[in-house]
Amino acid sequence: MIAGKRIILGITGGIAAYKGAALCSKLVQAGATVHVIMTKSAAEFITPLTLQTLSRNPVHIDTFDERNPEVVTHIHLADHADLIVVAPATANFMAKLANGHADDMLSTTLLAATCPILVAPAMNVHMYEHPAVVDNMERLAARGVMFVEPGTGQLACGYVAKGRLAEPEDIVAAVGVWFGQNQKLKGKKVLVTAGGTMERLDPVRYLTNDSSGKMGFAVAEAARLMGADVTLVAGRTTEPPPQGVTVVRTESAADMLEAVEARFHEADIVVKAAAVADYRPAQVHEQKLKKTGERLVLELERTTDILATIGERKTHQFLVGFAAETEQLEQYAMDKLRRKHCDLIVANDVSREGAGFNGDTNAVEVYGPEGLVEALPLMSKRATAVRLMELIHDRLAAGGGSRS
């Protein structure tokens, strides 16, 4: 889907600029014509010659370095680009883009561009979470800028946290989604749940699970890249949700059920990736529960099964559930699919290394009424989400989806 496309690759001045070389190479290998624009700060981290060699095109840095008198370079590049990718995107760059500043070659070209823009941020976690940065990203998303969320890992500053530039293959996957799938879900309303629920015992304690919300966030991001109108109902999560989607925050299973039911009737696709508590304390104490002895016995009661509830009520919706198991994957997945009236079940063995909670990778098996549809190997959760949304689209296009 990338072959023959003209892509501007913008590289800004962060330590992750070195990954721009791998990204450029992968885009060229995929058949794209890549024109690199670097900021002067980026050139402190990686040489223009490296990018010129990989892209096989001149690298642009200086707005006034006009090499062809027949054109104004930044306008010419902007007019002929099919997509602009900025990776890494620093906090400073996003501030300039959000506020319409045009003081270098990259920002000037972006201001003149009418093609889609895909931004991959990279920075220190505290910078990424700063209200000014969050506000700038929200403003850009509202204008249609797409984002490839940063990953969690070792940062140059020494922190192990969110802010690491998405891997080049994930960015290339997002580019491929845009070119190949961007219209596939246009006009569709997608409802995604993510994260774990919190069941209160008292004002300071609660029962929860290890879900980070990353898989649900990846699904929401993939659906957004495919052109869908996405609503994300999120419980307890460990990182900010993706940009460009409507986020509804919930706490308990009851809260999440209410939020899902309120939006279920207008959804075309529902992906239940949240890890919802099966039980909650039978009594919620208004004050902090004090120590009274060596043992404490808690009485738990069942929560309402959200997936089963909406499965019984669905009319036109394509319903996808998730099953986190530690054994007998196929048996439990197929049983869940039938009992809860799902169209697909995404099952994974959370005891497998790299496929459990909190990580950036997953390995899943997708089941339909006929049995195993596709087994996906260990890959990033973004890539898993993209493939899942492709399967959903293909089934909808073929008239798939049960109504009972």
Nearest to 396 by CA among 188, 122, 146: 188
Q: Does the structure show a pLDDT above 80 at 214? A: yes
Residue ending a domain, among 147, 181, 215, is: 181
288 is in an annotated binding site: yes
Both 206 and 164 in one domain: the answer is no
Q: 334 in a domain, yes or no?
A: yes
- If one counts the domains in the chain, the total is 2
Domain that holds residue 28: 6-181
Confidence grade of residue 320 (pLDDT, cut at 50, 70, 90): very high
Is the preceding peptide bond at 121 cis, omega within 30 degrees of 0? no
Both 223 and 128 in one domain: the answer is no
Both 159 and 247 in one domain: the answer is no
Q: 22 in a domain, yes or no?
A: yes
Nearest to 308 by CA among 293, 323, 324: 323
Confidence grade of residue 400 (pLDDT, cut at 50, 70, 90): low
- For residue 390, the surrounding DSSP H or E stretch is helix 381-397
Active site residues: 157
Both 310 and 336 in one domain: the answer is yes
How far lies 273's CA from each of 159, 218, 344, in Å? Answer: 28, 10, 12
Both 175 and 195 in one domain: the answer is no
Q: At what angle are helices 168-181 and 381-397 packed, to 10 degrees?
A: 20
Both 167 and 39 in one domain: the answer is yes
Higher-confidence residue of 296 and 264: namely 264
Contact 165, 147 (CB under 8 A): no
Dump pLDDT digits (tens) for 226-277.
889 999 999 999 877 887 789 999 999 999 999 999 999 999 999 999 999 9
Dump pLDDT digits (tens) for 64-117.
887 777 778 888 899 889 899 999 999 999 999 999 999 999 999 999 998 889
Q: What whole-number distance in Å separates Cα of residue 197 and Cα of residue 174?
A: 29
Q: Which of 221-225, 275-279, 283-287, 369-373 has the lowest mean pLDDT?
A: 221-225
Q: 402 in a domain, yes or no?
A: no
Q: Does the structure show a pLDDT above 60 at 402? A: no
184 is in an annotated binding site: no
User: Can you give the pLDDT at residue 393?
Assistant: 93
Q: 238 in a domain, yes or no?
A: yes
CATH code for the domain in which residue 298 is found: 3.40.50.10300
Both 176 and 201 in one domain: the answer is no
Output the average pLDDT for the chain: 89
Both 286 and 194 in one domain: the answer is yes
Q: 148 in a domain, yes or no?
A: yes
User: Can you give the pLDDT at residue 159?
Assistant: 63
322 is in an annotated binding site: yes
CATH code for the domain in which residue 155 is found: 3.40.50.1950
- CB atoms inside a 10 Å sphere around CB 326: 11
Residue ending a domain, among 181, 214, 241, is: 181
Q: How wide is the angle at C-alpha 204 spanned by C-alphas 125 and 129, nearest 5°?
A: 15
Residue ending a domain, among 165, 181, 197, is: 181
Both 173 and 206 in one domain: the answer is no
Confidence grade of residue 351 (pLDDT, cut at 50, 70, 90): confident
Q: Does the structure show a pLDDT above 50 at 404? A: no
Q: 1 in a domain, yes or no?
A: no
Average pLDDT over residues 2-11: 92
- CB atoms inside a 10 Å sphere around CB 67: 8
Both 268 and 169 in one domain: the answer is no
Dump pLDDT digits (tens) for 323-345.
988 889 899 999 999 999 999 99
Dump pLDDT digits (tens) for 145-185.
888 888 776 666 676 666 788 889 989 988 887 787 556 88
Dump pLDDT digits (tens) for 11-64.
999 999 999 999 999 999 999 999 999 999 999 999 999 999 999 999 999 888
Reading the block at residue 60, the tokens are 């642009």
